[in-house]
Structure formats: C-alpha cells, structure tokens
C-alpha cells in the first residue's frame, strides 16, 4: 500500500534562517506531488506541484522553492524565512495524470507545523 | 483564475441536527472532490463526483454535484461528535490544468454533545 511521509512534524525557526522540508512517497511510481500551505484557521493554498523528476510548477511567487531530485521525493526550501511563512505545510500525491481520472484525488501527508519567530 | 467558494465558514450544531455546506465554483468543473480534516490532522479524501447532477451517499453523508457542474453540496444527517472537523470541496477546472486542484476555504463544523 502507498504511504506518504513528511518530516519534521513540528519546527520552530527564527526569521532569516533557512528551511528544508522533505516529503517521500512509498508504494507508487511517477506520482504527481504537491506542496500546500494552510495558515491557522484558513484554507489550503497550493504552493508547488510536480508531475515528474525535475519538473516544478510554482503557483505563488514568494521566497519558497521546491525540488524533486527523485521520483518519490519532494523538497520544500527557503533561503531566508519570513514571519509570514508560518503555517501548516502539507505534502500530497496523486496517481492520475488526468483531472477526471479515478485516482486524481490527493493523499495528504501528516504535515509539518512551522512557526517562524 | 478559478475560484472555489464555500459557505458557511463555520457551523455549530447540536448533536443530532443536520448540517449542510455549499460549494460554488467560478468556472465549470470536470469533477468535484470532498475532503475532511479533523482538528490537528491532515485532509482526508471522502468522495469524488464526476457527472452532472450526480448524487452519492456514504452512510449519513450525501454529496451532490450540480447540473451545471459549478456547484456542490455536502449534507450530514443527524450529526455526531465524530463529524467534527473542517470539510473542504476541491475541483479541477474543466479545460484547465490537469494537475491544479483548487480548494475552497472549508467549513468548520463543531458539534455540541
């Protein structure tokens, strides 16, 4: 069965420090991968998605970046964190390459709660 | 760009009462998906509707997809404390990106036992 891992679960970082969040998926190949951010009490904001190794699409211009060095690994990074980067970061994957496909829904990881102080 | 709106933002009910959340898209959707996020947890997929006018049921939950494929609803009959959480709708814009799933802001349901 497929599983998705994210770490760390919680993180407290000072303003201006770098960030690296990692997400890995097991039990599937060539997944679509996603990074979402959820501010406290708010909805889900799509940050990046990737349909293959080295292919990254950015949805929101900001000081964050994403990379996909391996098929089932997705990394979210920042060189200098801002206070506004605080939030709940969720990695997700889907199996379908078409929007209406039977497996186009998302499986979310457990998330990382980031607090920038 | 595509926008997905959900109402109400919050809903508090007494256990046993019914609950409904509504989802409206600014564009026609190829499908609509519903997710539930328990407090402190991550969103979990509930169901996907694809056909115009489609209705699906999961025990006490009833999901509908509008005839124009621009709106949807989730109705819970006789709520229980286990129904507490935020319910999100999400959709792919018809003719848009195959990968960009746009989420509504969610409806937070609280249930008083």
- Would you place residue A61 in the very low, low, confident or very high pLDDT band (cuts 50, 70, 90)? low
Residue contact A99–B44, C-beta within 8 A: no
Residue contact A46–B48, C-beta within 8 A: no
- Would you place residue A55 in the very low, low, confident or very high pLDDT band (cuts 50, 70, 90)? very high
CATH label of the domain that carries residue B20: 2.60.40.10
- Quick one: A114 exposed, middle or buried, by C-beta within 10 A (0-12, 13-18, 19+)? buried
How far is Cα A20 from Cα B24, in angstroms, rounded to an integer?
Answer: 36
Average pLDDT score over chain A: 90
Q: Does the structure show a pLDDT above 60 at A99? A: no
Domain that holds residue B84: 4-112
Tokens 């919680």 correspond to A10
Domain count, chain A: 1
How far is Cα B20 from Cα B63, in angstroms, rounded to an integer?
Answer: 10
Residue of B98, B105, B107, B110 to mutate for A, most A C-beta atoms under 10 A: B98
Q: Does the structure show a pLDDT above 70 at A15? A: yes
Residue contact A32–B104, C-beta within 8 A: no
How far is Cα A97 from Cα B97, in angstroms, rounded to an integer?
Answer: 10
pLDDT in tens, A32-43: 999 999 987 778
Share of chain A above pLDDT 70, in %: 91
Select from B30, B90, B105 the Cβ nearest to the Cβ of A100.
B30
Domain count, chain B: 1
CATH label of the domain that carries residue A41: 2.60.40.10
Residues of B in contact with A105 (CB under 8 A): 33, 45, 48
Residue contact B105–A49, C-beta within 8 A: no
Q: Does the structure show a pLDDT above 60 at A103? A: no
Q: Does the structure show a pLDDT above 80 at A101? A: no
Instruction: Spell out the long-range contacts of A55-62 with Cβ–Cβ below 8 A and sequence spacing 24 or more.
Output: A57/B99, A59/B100
Give, in degrees to the nearest 5, the angle at Cα B34 between B45 and B28.
130
Domain that holds residue A16: 3-116
How far is Cα B42 from Cα B75, in angstroms, rounded to an integer?
Answer: 21
pLDDT in tens, B74-106: 999 999 999 999 999 999 876 666 677 889 999
């Amino acid at each position: 069965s497929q599983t998705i891992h994210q770490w760390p679960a919680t993180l407290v970082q000072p303003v201006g420090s770098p960030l690296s969040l990692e997400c890995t998926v097991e039990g599937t190949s060539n997944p679509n991968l996603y990074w979402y951010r959820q501010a406290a009490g708010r909805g889900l904001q799509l940050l990046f998605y990737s349909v293959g190794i080295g292919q990254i699409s950015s949805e929101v211009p900001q000081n964050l970046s994403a990379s996909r060095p391996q098929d089932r690994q997705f990394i979210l990074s920042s060189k200098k964190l801002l206070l506004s980067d605080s939030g709940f970061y969720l990695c997700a994957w889907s199996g379908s390459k078409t929007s209406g496909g039977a497996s186009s829904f998302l499986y979310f990881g457990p998330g990382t709660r980031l607090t920038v102080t | 760009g595509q926008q997905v709106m959900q109402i109400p933002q919050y809903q508090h009910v007494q256990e046993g009462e019914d609950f409904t959340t509504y989802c409206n898209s600014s564009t026609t959707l190829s499908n609509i998906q519903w997710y539930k996020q328990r407090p402190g947890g991550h969103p979990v997929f509930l169901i996907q509707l694809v056909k115009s006018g489609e209705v699906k049921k999961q025990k006490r939950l009833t999901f509908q997809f509008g005839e124009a494929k621009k709106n949807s609803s989730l109705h819970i009959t006789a709520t229980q404390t286990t129904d507490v959480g935020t319910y999100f709708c999400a959709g792919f814009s018809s003719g848009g990106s195959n990968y960009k799933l746009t989420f509504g802001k969610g409806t937070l349901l609280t249930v008083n036992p």
